[in-house]
Amino acid sequence: MPEKLMITAEMIEIMRAHVLRCFPEEACGILGGSGDHIKYVLPITNELHSPVKFRMAPEEQFKAFVFLEQNSLQMLGYYHSHPAGPAYPSETDLLQFSYPGVVLVLLFPENSTLQIKGFIIKENAINEVNIEDYKSKKMDF
């Protein structure tokens, strides 16, 4: 079970920009890399266009998986936004979670800024995962 997810500030910015473009709808995407290092943020269309639910567009999700496979990378996580909160996986997130062993990254508004947290879900247990930059310093969002 991952204890941390290493990511660059530039990749965080890609996720933030995607979330802001989709607002007030939820944004979603796949995080690919190796070990605990994210190398690609792959934004995917939320085909539900909903502020409270998401479903990744299947054709885009498939292309993302093919891209990861062709580059010998793994899906280390996926992200989505909670435009109105909470800063924690929702009941829907738990019911629809289908990627064991990957980190769920949530982006959410708090104090007029966009915050980010990572979670690992295993058998309905939820544990927070540190999100750190490549220099192993805790990211301050």
- Among residues 26, 60, 110, 128, the one annotated as catalytic is 26
Q: Say if residue 18 is exposed, middle or buried (CB neighbours under 10 Å; 0-12, 13-18, 19+).
A: buried
pLDDT, average across residues 19-43: 96
Counting every residue, how long is the chain? Answer: 141
Contact 99, 78 (CB under 8 A): yes
* pLDDT of 140: 41
The question of whether 26 is a catalytic residue gets the answer yes
- The one-letter amino acid code at 139 reads M
28: pLDDT strictly greater than 80? yes
Which domains are assigned to the chain?
Answer: 4-132 (3.40.140.10)
Instruction: Kindly report, residue by residue over 94-141, the tens digit of the pLDDT.
Output: 888 888 889 999 999 888 888 999 999 987 789 999 998 865 444 443
Please state which of the ranges 57-71, 72-86, 120-134 shows the lowest mean pLDDT.
120-134
Q: Say if residue 136 is exposed, middle or buried (CB neighbours under 10 Å; 0-12, 13-18, 19+).
A: exposed
* pLDDT of 129: 95
User: CA-CA distance, 85 to 29, in Å (whole number)?
Assistant: 18
43: pLDDT strictly greater than 80? yes
pLDDT band, very low/low/confident/very high, at 3 (cuts 50, 70, 90): confident
* pLDDT of 1: 63
E-state strands within the chain: 4-6, 28-34, 37-44, 74-81, 103-110, 113-122, 125-132
Contact 128, 103 (CB under 8 A): no
**Bond from prior residue into 86 cis (ω within 30 degrees of 0):** yes
Contact 15, 107 (CB under 8 A): yes
* pLDDT of 139: 42
* pLDDT of 137: 43
128's tokens: 């927070």
Contact 108, 85 (CB under 8 A): yes
